[in-house]
Structure 1
Amino acid sequence: MKMIKGLILALMIALLVEPLAVASAAKERSTSSTMKVNFYSNSLQKNMHLNVYLPPNYEAHSKYPVLYVLHSYKLNEDHWWNSLKITEKADELIASGKIEPLIIVAPMIDNSFGVNSAEQTGTVPESGKPEDEGVLYKGKYEDYVTKDVVHYIDTHFKTNKSRSSRYLGGTSMGGFAALHIGFSHPELYGKVGGHSPALFVGPMWDVLEKVIYPTEAARKLNDPILLAGTQKLNKQRIYLDMGDKDDFLGALKTLDQVLAKRQTKSYELHVNPGGKHDDAYWSSQMENYLLFYAGIDQD
């Protein structure tokens, strides 16, 4: 009798626990997830970090488009996550059916402006001490973004590897890097966004100029404004935006004059009233950014 009672009790517990376990598993599958990845960059010959966002129900599909977002000067791969809240906005827009589920990747790019500036990776002594948050970095950062980061993501996650499903954007320094890299590699990125990009016309910080534009030949390879006039961009969608209180607005208008004359798949410029060069402005535009990159019913 005791044995029968024990079996009945065990059965009742199993019946109660199993639905809870299934419900818990379903909840886990229905929510997004984020992770920090440490990996070795062959281009930079050092370990680097990147953040990855996987959309809700990640296992439900075989492949996803990927948005790569680059951070501002003096910041790191956490900028888009912690300050700009891109993952929270992505959750909201996916749930409401406004954007398609996508993978979002925020790689660390140091204070490099995303250019190939030296064979060996290191800091630029004239810009400060190695421990200073504003010290500039030199190295093969363009190769790191286009080769190492893309390869790692494509080989470790369920990505759609086509150019039309790979997007690149950034804020400030990251905006410069996104435009420079995106325009230089139209075969890799179907959509490119410059969000308050730190563009330069005329005099600039001497040390920075020696890193990104040390020669006229290097300027032709690195300057987004020059690249916009020379690269084949007919298969790219391009999005530029900036607040009207931003000191970089004059340079952005110069870029606009170039792109307005070029053949692109689409091109849009947004100058928003009251916007400054800061997190408050970029956060206020996050829905617009995600709608550009992953909005449903764009085509």
Structure 2
Amino acid sequence: MALSKKLLLTPFILFLFINSLLASVDTVATFSKAMNKEIKALVITPNSYSSDKSYPVVYLLHGYSGNYKSWLEGAPQIEELAEQYQLIIVTPDGNFDSWYWDSPEDATSKYETYITQELIPYVDTHYRTISSKEGRAISGLSMGGHGALYLGIRHQDIFGTAGSQSGGVDIGPFPENWNMKKYLGEKSAFPERWRAYSVMGQLHLLSRDNLPLVIHCGTGDFFYQVNLKLHEELTYLNIPHTFTSNPGAHNWDYWKESVQYQLLYFHNFFQSED
């Protein structure tokens, strides 16, 4: 009988042990005054989260047609990584096609303002964060990879480091894709605007050693050539960065692996800033 009880208890104890290693996930809703609507985000905190400690924060932006739950659904291991590296991960909703711009065409789409002026202050107020650029990173996939570098470069006073995974880092070759002209107007009518609203059009804001960058893209990805072009331009401008191109396509198999390396990269950055 004693042996039987022991065998029955073992799976339960194992469950408790595994559960203790996972992070906690909150769904938060913040009201955007800029867009006059409520926007959701997930906030993932280490299971050992304590009010006696302040934590660095990584913002992960989803891709086109995604939402605030996409990262956790597609790469659930980010819970474990939040615990492993003792950091907070925030996955905001960027609408399914906003490209994280303050649109010059659609006054109701102001996702640059939302993330930098509304969401970040909310997170810093409601969670124990390191509320300075030394404790804040941003990355994302596809549309979110573009958004992360675009916001990171434009707001170097807010973000200490930035990354991109399979990012649409140069929008110029894709004037008819992913609803971008809805937010920028036709490229033929606004060529300078299309350059300015691309990551490639923001590189003049970078200076050596001010914003560490980590960029990943699979060689089988339809964004590979624009990522290679970005790498070459950053090299020409003598901007230090980490660029990894390895076999992979535009899918979750690639991003599930990539995010592990990027979170390690950010962890090392935060450690160096202590």
Structure 1 length normalisation: TM-score?
Answer: 0.76
Distance in 1 separating the partners of 2:185 and 2:155: 19
Taking a change above 3 Å as real, the CA distance of residues 181 and 271 of structure 1, as seen in their structure-2 partners, is same
Question: Does residue 115 of structure 1 match 2:125?
Answer: no
1:188 maps to amino acid = I
Q: Secondary structure at 1:295's aligned position in 2?
A: helix
Count of residues in correspondence between the two structures: 250
Distance in 2 separating the partners of 1:297 and 1:71: 23
1:292 maps to amino acid = Y
Aligned counterpart in structure 1 of residue 183 of structure 2, from 211, 236, 252 = 211
Taking a change above 3 Å as real, the CA distance of residues 166 and 91 of structure 1, as seen in their structure-2 partners, is closer
Distance in 2 separating the partners of 1:280 and 1:267: 24
Q: Secondary structure at 1:260's aligned position in 2?
A: helix
Distance in 2 separating the partners of 1:297 and 1:141: 26
Distance in 1 separating the partners of 2:21 and 2:227: 41
Aligned counterpart in structure 2 of residue 183 of structure 1, from 153, 157, 166 = 153
Distance in 2 separating the partners of 1:103 and 1:68: 9
Counterpart of 1:54? 45
Counterpart of 1:106? 91
- RMSD of aligned alpha carbons: 2.6
1:225 touches 1:254 (CA, 8 Å); kept in 2?
Answer: no
1:80 touches 1:86 (CA, 8 Å); kept in 2?
Answer: no
Taking a change above 3 Å as real, the CA distance of residues 30 and 246 of structure 1, as seen in their structure-2 partners, is closer
Matching of residues 73-152 of structure 1 within 5 Å: 73-90=64-81, 94=84, 99=85, 101-110=86-95, 111-117=97-103, 118=105, 120-121=107-108, 139-152=109-122
Q: Secondary structure at 1:67's aligned position in 2?
A: strand
Q: Secondary structure at 2:125's aligned position in 1?
A: helix
Taking a change above 3 Å as real, the CA distance of residues 297 and 63 of structure 1, as seen in their structure-2 partners, is closer
Distance in 2 separating the partners of 1:213 and 1:182: 24
Deviation at 1:55, TM superposition (A): 0.9
Taking a change above 3 Å as real, the CA distance of residues 42 and 178 of structure 1, as seen in their structure-2 partners, is same
Question: Does residue 240 of structure 1 match 2:231?
Answer: no
Q: Secondary structure at 1:69's aligned position in 2?
A: strand
Taking a change above 3 Å as real, the CA distance of residues 141 and 147 of structure 1, as seen in their structure-2 partners, is same
Distance in 2 separating the partners of 1:263 and 1:86: 35
Counterpart of 1:222? 197
Identity of counterpart residues, as a percentage? 26
1:208 maps to amino acid = M
2:227 maps to amino acid = L
Distance in 2 separating the partners of 1:298 and 1:292: 10
Taking a change above 3 Å as real, the CA distance of residues 249 and 45 of structure 1, as seen in their structure-2 partners, is same
Distance in 2 separating the partners of 1:213 and 1:235: 32
Distance in 2 separating the partners of 1:288 and 1:226: 27
Distance in 1 separating the partners of 2:185 and 2:223: 18
Q: Secondary structure at 1:37's aligned position in 2?
A: strand
Distance in 2 separating the partners of 1:78 and 1:254: 31
1:66 touches 1:104 (CA, 8 Å); kept in 2?
Answer: yes
Question: Does residue 276 of structure 1 match 2:239?
Answer: no
Structure with higher Rg: it is 1
Taking a change above 3 Å as real, the CA distance of residues 259 and 102 of structure 1, as seen in their structure-2 partners, is same
Question: Does residue 33 of structure 1 match 2:24?
Answer: yes
Taking a change above 3 Å as real, the CA distance of residues 162 and 242 of structure 1, as seen in their structure-2 partners, is same
Structure 2 length normalisation: TM-score?
Answer: 0.82
Q: Secondary structure at 2:203's aligned position in 1?
A: helix
1:209 maps to amino acid = K
1:104 maps to amino acid = I
Q: Deviations over 1:147-182 (max 9, x none)?
A: 111011011111101111110000001011111111
